[in-house]
């Protein structure tokens, strides 16, 4: 598991560097499929199982860098559910994999999906418990931030109250309000370094098991 988290950390670092060097003219799918697009909402780009819930949910949605960042969560969760010990019995594990990674509804313009992913992000208790404790903490931290995309935006009154509290001696209290936490998550999600630093931190914390294969095996929900 330490190797997996380390690999995803390196991918995110390379992805951000490629995006920056492209001067935001394109976005990375695979190294051999990197293209410059004039209309990023023309069609979906990516692997269905790992695309953000936002992109799966509708047609014409602009593919943004934050969608690729969210994909890191789905890659990590998918591999963890398939190949590491967790709390779910095989039948439930199979159901959750189908719901979160395969769900689709055929409409007049094509398939849409992402409902299962949004449900998981907004109800993080649905996450399995994994044998590797640091993996649980990482998944919770990532899901908590990426969920903000799918939560109601605060009202104008919430913004006004937060602005009032910011200029008063209660600034620190303002940060702990629902509005303050919402804005903090938006800032993390949009940050070019937050995801890398979070993955890097947990990669360092993840211990290599003392017995070979102790944190890695093929689960029985699929052959």
| 204-218 pLDDT per residue, tens | 988 866 666 556 666
More confidently predicted of 214 and 66: 66
| The pLDDT of residue 109 | 75
- Domain assignment present for residue 21? The answer is no
- Domain assignment present for residue 53? The answer is yes
Domain that holds residue 137: 38-209
Nearest to 100 by CA among 138, 46, 53: 53
Buried b / exposed e over 38-57, threshold 16 CB at 10 Å, is eeeeeebbbeebbbbbbbbb
- Domain assignment present for residue 9? The answer is no
Compute, in degrees rounded to 10, the torsion defined by CA atoms 89, 91, 94, 95: -110
pLDDT bracket for residue 36 (50, 70, 90): low
Give the mean pLDDT of 178-200: 93
Instruction: Give per-residue pLDDT as tens, 127-185.
Output: 999 988 899 999 999 999 999 999 988 888 888 887 877 776 666 777 777 888 899 99
Whole-Å CA distances, 223 to 90, 91, 118, 131, 220: 11, 13, 27, 21, 7
The DSSP secondary structure of 178-223, one letter per residue, reads: HHHHHHHHHHHHH-SSHHHHHHHHHHHHSPPPSSTTTT----TT--
Give a three-class secondary structure readout of 38-59. CCCCCCCCCCHHHCCHHHHHCC
Give the mean pLDDT of 89-97: 92
pLDDT at residue 186 tops 70: yes
The total number of structural domains in the chain stands at: 1
Longest dimension (CA), the chain: 60
pLDDT bracket for residue 35 (50, 70, 90): low
- Domain assignment present for residue 32? The answer is no
């Amino acid at each position: 598991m330490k190797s997996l988290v380390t690999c995803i950390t390196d991918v995110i670092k390379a992805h951000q560097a490629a995006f920056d060097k492209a001067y935001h003219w394109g976005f990375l799918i695979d190294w051999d499929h990197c293209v410059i697009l004039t209309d990023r909402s023309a069609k979906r780009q990516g692997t269905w199982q790992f695309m953000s819930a936002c992109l799966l949910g509708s047609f014409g949605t602009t593919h943004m860098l934050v969608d690729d960042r969210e994909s890191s969560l789905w890659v990590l969760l998918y591999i963890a559910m398939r190949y590491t010990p967790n709390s779910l019995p095989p039948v439930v594990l199979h159901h959750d994999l189908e719901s979160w990674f395969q769900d689709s509804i055929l409409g007049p313009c094509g398939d849409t999906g992402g409902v299962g992913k949004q449900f998981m992000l907004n109800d993080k208790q649905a996450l399995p418990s994994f044998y590797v404790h640091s993996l649980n903490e990482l998944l919770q931290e990532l899901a908590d931030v990426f969920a903000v995309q799918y939560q109601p935006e605060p009202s104008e009154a919430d913004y006004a109250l937060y602005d009032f509290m910011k200029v008063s001696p209660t600034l620190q209290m303002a940060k702990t309000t629902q509005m303050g936490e919402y804005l903090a998550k938006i800032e993390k999600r949009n940050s070019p370094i937050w995801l890398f630093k979070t993955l890097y931190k947990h990669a360092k914390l993840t211990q290599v098991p003392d017995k070979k294969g102790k944190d890695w095996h093929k689960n029985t929900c699929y052959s």
